[in-house]
């Protein structure tokens, strides 16, 4: 998919977000500290990366769909900061052309414009596409190679 390539390209889209780095590093460090081999460390790195990306996508979706009172921040905070998260990229890729989205991405920060942009993204199917990517990344993380399975007994 186009947006997946954009993510891997490290462009403006927050793909390799800080949570992805932390998850990957934490999982990899666990293997290093445990003294596992290179193959196990590589598998742990992959597991952490995929799980971290899934977490970041879920966080980005919550930013657009969650209840502000429960989140502790207003809906659309990432968009307000001008961050093009996966739901925004999915919206744009699907041909979304609501002027409020483009205005916010171009720097407009008034609440009415932001509110309209969030609603346009919610109504577009972009949230479902982003969640499917998060589910896909979670499935990939679950496909931990047999090399990591430990027999406890």
What's residue 142's pLDDT?
A: 86
SS3 category, 103:
helix
pTM: 0.78
What are the structural domains, with CATH classification, of the chain? Answer: 2-143 (1.10.600.10)
Instruction: Assess contact for 87 and 81: CB atoms under 8 A.
Output: no
Name the residue among 150, 141, 143, 144 with its Cα closest to residue 48. 141
Give residue-wise pLDDT tens across range 90-111.
999 999 999 999 999 999 989 9
pLDDT 10s digits, 9-61:
333 444 445 445 556 677 777 778 888 888 888 888 888 888 888 999 999 99
Chain segment 122-141, per-residue pLDDT in tens: 999 999 999 999 999 999 88
Structure confidence at residue 145 (pLDDT): 66
């Amino acid at each position: 998919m186009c947006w997946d390539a954009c993510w891997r390209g490290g462009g403006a889209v927050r793909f390799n977000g800080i949570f992805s780095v932390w998850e990957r590093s934490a999982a990899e460090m666990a293997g290093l500290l445990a003294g596992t081999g290179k193959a196990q460390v590589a598998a742990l790195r992959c597991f952490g990366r995929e799980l971290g990306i899934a977490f970041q996508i879920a966080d980005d979706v919550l930013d657009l769909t969650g209840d502000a009172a429960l989140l502790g921040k207003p809906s659309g905070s990432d968009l307000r900061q001008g961050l093009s998260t996966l739901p925004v990229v999915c919206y744009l890729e699907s041909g979304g052309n609501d002027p409020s989205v483009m205005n916010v991405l171009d720097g407009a920060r008034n609440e009415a414009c932001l509110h309209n942009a969030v609603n346009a993204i919610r109504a577009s199917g972009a949230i479902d596409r982003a969640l499917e990517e998060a589910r896909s990344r979670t499935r990939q993380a679950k496909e931990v190679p047999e090399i990591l399975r430990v027999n406890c007994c």
